[in-house]
Amino acid sequence: MASASTNDIEFRSVTKNYGPVTAVKDINLNVPKGAFLALLGPSGCGKTTCLRMIGGFEQPSEGAVLIDGREMNGVPAYRRPVNMVFQHYALFPHFNVEQNVAYGLKQMRPRIAAGDIDRRVAEALEMVRLDGFAKRRIYEMSGGQQQRVALARALVNRPSVLLLDEPLAALDKKLRSAMQIELQTLQRDLGITFVLVTHDQEEALSMADIVCVMSAGRIRQLGAPQEVYDHPADLFVADFVGKTNRIEAKLEAGGATLRLADGSAIPASKPVATDEAIVAIRPEAIRLSRERVANGASFQGVVTHRIFLGSSAEYAVNVPGLGDFLVTADRSTMNESDLVAPGDAVFLGFDPAAAHVFPASTA
């Protein structure tokens, strides 16, 4: 197919209404060829609606979705050059593995020779490491294997875009991590655009090279995973992508100083145009120690809980006047003397430059 565009997918002012409910509101989005985009957000944020509009299962109420430069309004799902890996896979229960994978090829016009279908199905099954399972019934396969069948079934058609709707949600944690790596490798090898819908920020950050954070039908932030994590555009993104501690503050000295609820003050990392602000700080940006740290912000508190995670630990620390803080401590960077237990009095310290300041009105 001749490339008409450098973008595989484009949303132009797309709005989708279901009766009085607006699921997606005025979305503009470009997905370059070969990108791995993750649509990330809580349930009901519109991410799945966007995916379904690419797949052709929904039509935009306003605006247009373009695939490879072609406007897709009114084009039914079966005429679109995209394939989808469905949530819970949607494999055909009355077909075996091989028949499931061959289904798309058999729909193609002009017809593909039977021999070519067999060859391509075999290749696809090999690609997802299911060679030898061709004759298996779907219900004889484990969840992970079904996932691979779904992947092979979609990829065997050589789509220009692969859509993945929460593809890993039904897998256990270990299998999920393995599949994350596998999907990433596959995407790189095939060089086709992947669009992943997920509510799991870890999944989005680890696999995608563009993360699109959505909420209430709108895009809140679009960017590389690291950028989204390190520089959240707003408090919602800060909260949803990764964990965040919030501190209420008032701006003083023309916005240069933040007066915290306990009366202490820290310098603002960037100017904020309102009087009331929220300071957001990542748990891993906070240092935990028995002694007060000289530079940066420092607060005294009491450890209330400790969650041991193996290589790291999470602590809940109550700071009088400011509330509860979540602190993640990597064991490899901790001194033995800093290992604290519930009931211990500790000091929390962080670099004010690592804290994000948002207007309180966005909270």
Partner 1 sequence: MTLTAQVKKRLVTIALVAPASLWLFVFLVLPFIAIIVFAFGERGPVGGYQPAFTFEQFANLGARAAAFVNTLVLAPIGAAACLLVAYPVAYYLAIKASPQRRLLLVSLVVVPFWTSLLVRTYAWMYILGARGIPHLLEYIGFDNVRLLNTPGAVLLGIVYGYLPLMIMPIYVSLEKLDRRLLEASADLGAHPISTFFGVTLPLSLPGVMTGIALVTILLLGEYLIPQLLGGGKVFFIGNALVDLFLQSRNWPFGSAIAVTLVAVVVVVLLVAMRIAWRIAGTRQVDLV
- In the complex, which residues of this chain contact partner 1 (CB under 8 A)? 55-57, 76-79, 82-84, 86-88, 90-94, 103-104, 107-108, 137, 139, 153-154, 157
User: Which is closer to partner 1, CB of 95 or CB of 229?
Assistant: 95
User: Which is closer to partner 1, CB of 149 or CB of 357?
Assistant: 149
Give, as one character, the DSSP assignment of residue 332. Answer: G
Least distance from partner 1 to the Cβ atom of residue 140, Å? 10
Q: What is the dihedral of CA 140, 146, 152, 155, to 10 degrees?
A: 150
Least distance from partner 1 to the Cβ atom of residue 300, Å? 54
Least distance from partner 1 to the Cβ atom of residue 142, Å? 16
User: Which is closer to partner 1, CB of 165 or CB of 203?
Assistant: 165
3-state helix, strand, coil in the chain (%, to 5): 30, 35, 35
User: Which is closer to partner 1, CB of 90 or CB of 169?
Assistant: 90
Instruction: Report the relative pairing of strands 345-350 and 287-289 from DSSP bridges.
Output: antiparallel
Q: Look at phi and psi of residue 254 and say left if phi exceeds 0, alpha if psi is from -120 to 50, else beta.
A: left
The gap from C-alpha 11 to its chain's centroid, in whole angstroms, comes to 19
User: Which is closer to partner 1, CB of 86 or CB of 229?
Assistant: 86
Instruction: Report the relative pairing of strands 161-165 and 193-198 from DSSP bridges.
Output: parallel
| 236 vs 327: CA distance, rounded Å | 20
User: Which is closer to partner 1, CB of 85 or CB of 266?
Assistant: 85
Least distance from partner 1 to the Cβ atom of residue 129, Å? 21
Least distance from partner 1 to the Cβ atom of residue 139, Å? 6
The gap from C-alpha 281 to its chain's centroid, in whole angstroms, comes to 20
Question: Measuring CA to CA, how many Å separate 193 from each of 83, 129, 183, 209?
Answer: 11, 21, 12, 11
Count of CB atoms situated within 10 Å of the CB of 21:
9
Tokens of 51: 């995916």
Least distance from partner 1 to the Cβ atom of residue 138, Å? 8
